[in-house]
């Protein structure tokens, strides 16, 4: 199959001299991503992506580089940009460029530059898209210049991105099948909960370097990310308060032993706030002005819309960066409130993102889902699809094997009993 081939490297990065440093980071991540590495090694002989162009809009981190180099080794022509204007690891971008990846990414992009990078990926005429947040897929649908692209399908990494794709589907605008990789058990139960839970604490510690023990941490949203954040902060001695709009999730948080209350109440007593909802305006001006002097706010949702950062950064009496990725906002009421990473995704901007072990699970799902689209695109409908159960199960089996964990198997008697009535 040879739909489109363009192997002449085209790229735009910040500093090519960082490639050697990026290679070291890649090698470190790869050594802790055995699940993904095993999957890539298993497929190398067949070269399943030979002649295929794959377009990626993911966080450009050391973990992502293992996936991108892997699919290139499987024959793909690879074009990639970053899924957030601020979070590119420039050494990784340089390393990827040195390896022949068409990469368009650098740290601290403007919104115009960010949009340009997405456009460049689509200019490579990718056959399959892999997205983190929905910006690449949305651009492919909305921009008329890309209407002629022969996109076979796409995968989506995040809760936010899946929501955006479902909106397209609901309005009968979806142009190709999209596999919701975020909905895989081996993604959201591990990457979202354990990975983002840990990297959130890491990002907050790097930004503020304060003690979690004894402080009231307000976790806004009790989805899989919120559960992970609450568990990690609780394990460090914090008193957890959860705010929710979903009664089932609120009940779960209450049963897990955490206080549950409206934001208007939590705003008055919280010391540290973490938004992880994927929803807009969950911490607003009306909440911020009620907060304690010294309160610390941050967001780990995909977009910087959860906290009213415009109010903090543009309408405070003064704003100054007191530590890397920590702005002190002096409010008109003489209180000082601190904002991490200007309201952008703190576990990527203030630190390095999720650990490689859990990203190996997510990226194995991505790789196998891309392969599923390539093999089955002619019979797939233009809709949001759950990740095939056999892929989810295969990733779990591979993970257990990589960790040296053995489990039981059903006996013939048990199988017969299970199938009886």
Q: Is 239 helix (H, G, I), strand (E, B) or coil?
A: strand
* Torsion on CA atoms 177, 178, 184, 186, rounded to nearest 10: 110
Question: Cβ(63)–Cβ(33) under 8 Å?
Answer: yes
DSSP letter for each residue of 122-147 = HHT--SEEEESSSHHHHHHHH-GGGT
* Residue 297 vs residue 1, higher pLDDT: 297
pLDDT above 80 (res 3): no
Same domain, 105 and 172: yes
What is the pLDDT averaged over residues 277-284? 96
Question: Cβ(238)–Cβ(212) under 8 Å?
Answer: yes
Q: Is residue 10 part of a domain?
A: no
On the CB side of 371, how many CA atoms lie within 13 Å of its CA? 20
Same domain, 30 and 125: yes
Percent of the chain past pLDDT 70, that is, above it, reads 98
Query: Residue 2 to residues 72, 102, 154, 193, 374: CA-CA distances in angstroms?
Result: 15, 19, 18, 39, 12
Same domain, 204 and 342: yes
pLDDT above 80 (res 254): yes
pLDDT above 50 (res 5): no
Q: Is residue 230 part of a domain?
A: yes
Q: Is 215 helix (H, G, I), strand (E, B) or coil?
A: coil
Same domain, 228 and 306: yes
Same domain, 214 and 334: yes
What residues are paired with 78 via a beta bridge?
A: 54
CA distance 137 to 114: 14
Which one-letter DSSP state was computed for residue 387? P
CA distance 374 to 155: 12
* R_g over Cα of the chain: 22
Q: Is residue 414 part of a domain?
A: no
The residue from 312, 333, 349 where one domain ends is 349
pLDDT above 60 (res 258): yes
Q: Is residue 282 part of a domain?
A: yes
Percent of the chain past pLDDT 90, that is, above it, reads 96
At residue 9, the pLDDT reads 60
At residue 1, the pLDDT reads 40
Same domain, 319 and 381: no
Encode pLDDT of 126-150 as tens digits: 999 999 999 999 999 999 999 999 9
pLDDT above 60 (res 6): no
Encode pLDDT of 359-374 as tens digits: 999 999 999 999 999 9
Categorize the per-residue pLDDT at 10 as very low, low, confident or very high, splitting at 50, 70 and 90.
confident
For 364, the domain range is 16-187+353-403
Same domain, 182 and 209: no
3 state SS for 325-346:
CEEEEECCCCCEEEEEHHHCEH
CA distance 15 to 309: 30
Q: Is 120 helix (H, G, I), strand (E, B) or coil?
A: helix
At residue 7, the pLDDT reads 42
Same domain, 339 and 223: yes
Structural domain count of the chain: 2
Contacts of 215 (CB under 8 A, 6+ apart): 238, 239, 271, 272
Q: Is residue 375 part of a domain?
A: yes
Q: Is residue 297 part of a domain?
A: yes
* Residue 160 vs residue 273, higher pLDDT: 273
Mean per-residue pLDDT of the chain = 95
Encode pLDDT of 67-103 as tens digits: 999 999 999 999 999 999 999 999 999 999 999 999 9
Same domain, 115 and 183: yes
The residue from 349, 365, 386 where one domain ends is 349
Q: Is 7 helix (H, G, I), strand (E, B) or coil?
A: coil
CATH number at residue 285: 3.40.50.720
Q: Is residue 417 part of a domain?
A: no
Q: Is residue 36 part of a domain?
A: yes
CA distance 234 to 121: 41
Encode pLDDT of 210-226 as tens digits: 999 999 999 999 999 99
At residue 8, the pLDDT reads 52
At residue 384, the pLDDT reads 97
Same domain, 292 and 398: no
Same domain, 177 and 205: no
Same domain, 157 and 235: no
CATH number at residue 33: 3.40.50.1480
Length of the chain: 421
In angstroms, the first-to-last Cα distance of the chain is: 47
pLDDT above 80 (res 48): yes
On the CB side of 331, how many CA atoms lie within 13 Å of its CA? 22
């Amino acid at each position: 199959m040879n739909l489109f081939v363009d192997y002449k490297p085209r790229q735009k990065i910040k500093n090519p001299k960082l490639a050697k440093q990026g290679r070291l980071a890649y090698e470190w991540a790869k050594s802790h991503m055995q699940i993904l590495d095993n999957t890539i090694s298993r497929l190398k002989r067949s070269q399943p992506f030979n002649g295929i162009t794959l377009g990626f809009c993911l966080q450009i981190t050391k973990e992502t580089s293992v996936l991108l180099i892997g699919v290139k080794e499987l024959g793909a022509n690879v074009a990639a940009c970053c899924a957030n204007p601020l979070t590119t690891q420039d050494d990784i971008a340089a390393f990827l460029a040195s390896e022949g990846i068409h990469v368009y990414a650098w740290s601290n992009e403007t919104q115009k530059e960010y949009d340009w990078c997405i456009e460049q990926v689509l200019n490579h005429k990718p056959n399959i898209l892999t997205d983190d947040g929905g910006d690449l897929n949305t651009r492919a649908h909305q921009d008329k210049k890309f209407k002629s692209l022969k996109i076979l399908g796409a995968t989506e990494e995040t809760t936010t991105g899946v929501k955006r794709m479902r909106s397209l589907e609901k309005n009968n605008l979806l142009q190709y099948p999209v596999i919701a990789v975020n909905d895989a058990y081996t993604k959201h139960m591990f990457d979202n909960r354990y990975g983002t839970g840990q990297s959130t604490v890491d990002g907050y510690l790097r930004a503020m370097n304060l003690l979690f023990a004894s402080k009231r941490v307000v976790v806004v949203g009790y989805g899989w990310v919120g559960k992970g954040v609450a568990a990690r902060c609780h394990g460090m001695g914090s008193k957890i308060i959860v705010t929710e709009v979903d009664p089932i999730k609120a009940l779960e948080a209450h049963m897990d032993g955490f206080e549950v209350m409206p934001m208007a109440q939590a705003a008055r007593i919280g010391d540290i706030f973490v938004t992880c909802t994927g929803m807009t305006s969950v911490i607003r001006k009306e909440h911020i002005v009620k907060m304690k002097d010294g309160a610390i706010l941050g967001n780990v949702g995909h977009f910087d819309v959860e906290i009213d950062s415009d109010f903090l950064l543009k309408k405070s009496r003064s704003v100054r960066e007191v530590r890397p990725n920590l702005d002190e906002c002096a409010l008109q009421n003489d209180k000082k409130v601190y904002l991490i990473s200007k309201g952008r995704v703190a576990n990527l901007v203030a630190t390095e993102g999720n650990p490689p072990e859990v990203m190996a699970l997510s990226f194995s799902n991505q790789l196998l889902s891309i392969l599923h689209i390539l093999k089955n695109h002619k019979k797939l409908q233009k809709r949001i699809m759950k990740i095939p159960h056999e892929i989810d199960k295969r990733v779990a089996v591979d993970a257990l094997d990589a960790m040296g964990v053995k489990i039981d198997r059903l006996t013939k008697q048990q199988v017969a009993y299970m199938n009886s009535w």
